[in-house]
Amino acid sequence: MDKKITLKTLRDMKGREKIVMVTAYDSLFASLFDEHVDVILIGDSLNMSFAGQDDTLSATMDQMIYHARAVGNGTKRSFLLFDMPFGTYGSKKQALKNAIKAYGQTKVDAVKLEGGKEKADIVKYLSQNAIAVFGHVGLKPQSARQEGGYSVKGKNEDEKRSIIEDALALETAGAVGLIIEGVKPDVASEITKKLKIPTIGIGAGVDCDGQVLVWSDMLGLYDNFLPKFVKRYIDGSGIVKDAIKQYAAEVKDVSFPNEKFTY
Ligand code: KIV
C-alpha cells in the first residue's frame, strides 16, 4: 500500500488486520522502515538507546522535535506518532502548548502520553483542541524512578481492574489509540475487546490490534538489557562490530583502500 496511513486507516484495521508499529529516531532508518510498517513512533526510548541515558525521563521537547523532524523527512507513508516526554503534559495548558509545538514543528499525526484515568482530563482537552492522542497504560517507563524500576502489570485482580479502567477512561476522553505495555496478556486481550480504538501491545501478548517494538532492540543493536518480550530479528550489534573490526584491520594493514576504491 502506497497511500499515507491515516487515523481512519488505523481505525479500519481494528479487528481486520494487525497494525505494525516500530520506533525510529532518524531519517535513515525511518526511510528503511516506511514501506513495511503502519506506524512509526518517535519514542522517548531514544533517550536510552541513542542518548545513552539510564531511563527516558530526561528527554526534552526540543530533542523529540529534532528526531521527529528527521523521521518526517525520511517517510512518506507511515502514520507518525510523537511521544510527549516526561514533564511536558502535567497540566491541560502545558500539554496543549507542547502538543501544538509538536504539530507545528514536525509532520507527526498524533501525540502519545503515558498515564490512565488521572490523565483523562488532559486527553479530553487535547482532543477538544484538534490534537489526536494515543494513551499508554500498564508499564509506564516515565514512572520508572517513582516505581523503582520496571515491572509487569496486571498480575493481580486490583491491578487488572485498574488498567482496564484506565483504558476505558482514556477512550471516553477521546484517545484515538492505546499503547498497552508490559501487562499480562489476558488484560490486554480484555481491553482490546472492550475498546473501539486500536490497541498496540508491547510485552502484552498477541491479542492486541497491533504490536510495537523499539527498533534498536528488534535489530539486536541495544545490548544493555533484553526484556523477555523482545525478539531480536538480527544480531545487529554483532554485524556492526564485525564490520567495524574488519574496516579497522584493513586500514591498519593498508589493504583498504585498494585499487577498486581509489580514483
Ligand atoms: O518510547 C518508546 O519507545 C515507547 C514504546 C516502548 C512504546 O513508548
Task: Calculate mean pLDDT across residues 236-244.
Answer: 97
What is the band of 1 on the pLDDT scale with cuts at 50, 70, 90?
Answer: low
Q: What is the pLDDT of residue 181?
A: 98
- pLDDT score at 124: 98
**Looking at 114, 181, 250, 259, which residue is catalytic?**
181
In angstroms, the CA 128 to CA 92 distance is 11
- Three cell numbers written together for 107: 509532520
Q: What is the pLDDT of residues 60-78, one digit of tens each?
A: 999 999 999 999 999 999 9
Which fold, 7-232?
Answer: TIM Barrel (3.20.20)
Whole-model pTM: value is 0.97
Q: Is the CB of 45 under 6 A from ligand 1?
A: yes
Q: Which of 19, 20, 21, 23 to mutate to test the pocket of ligand 1 (most atoms within 8 A of CB)?
A: 23
Answer yes or no: is the C-beta of 214 below 6 A from any ligand 1 atom: yes
d(CA 66, CA 180): 26
- Type of residue found at 171: E
**pLDDT score for 208:** 98
pLDDT tens-digit readout, 4-62: 999 999 999 999 999 999 999 999 999 999 999 999 999 999 999 889 999 999 999 99
Give pLDDT tens digits for 88-109. 999 999 999 999 999 999 999 9
Residue with cell 484538534: 130
> Is 17 marked active-site?
no
Alpha-carbon gap, residue 85 to 246, rounded angstroms = 39
The Cα 111–Cα 135 span in angstroms is: 9
Nearest to 182 by CA among 230, 223, 215, 218: 230
Peptide bond into 185 cis (omega under 30): no
Q: Which whole-number Å values give the CA distances from 119 to 115, 123, 130, 160, 162, in the listed order?
A: 6, 6, 17, 18, 14
Mean pLDDT estimate for the chain: 97
- Ligand 1 pocket test: which of 212, 215, 221 has the largest number of ligand atoms within 8 Å of its C-beta? 212
Asked if residue 23 has its Cβ within 6 Å of ligand 1, the reply is yes
Give residue 26's pLDDT.
98
> For a pLDDT cut of 90, what percent of the chain falls above it?
96
193-211 core/surface letters (b: 16 or more CB in 10 A; e: else):
eebebbbbbbbbbebbbbb
Residue the block writes with cell 486507516: 9
64 lines ligand 1 (CB under 6 A): no
d(CA 141, CA 200): 16
Cα 166 to middle of ligand 1, angstroms: 18
Q: Can you tell me the mean pLDDT for 150-172?
A: 96
Return the domain boundaries, the chain: 7-232, 236-263
pLDDT value of position 38: 98
Give the model's pLDDT for residue 22: 98
Residue nearest to atom 4 of ligand 1 (CA): 43
Dist. CA 4–CA 78, nearest whole Å: 6
- Is the pLDDT assigned to residue 198 strictly greater than 70? yes
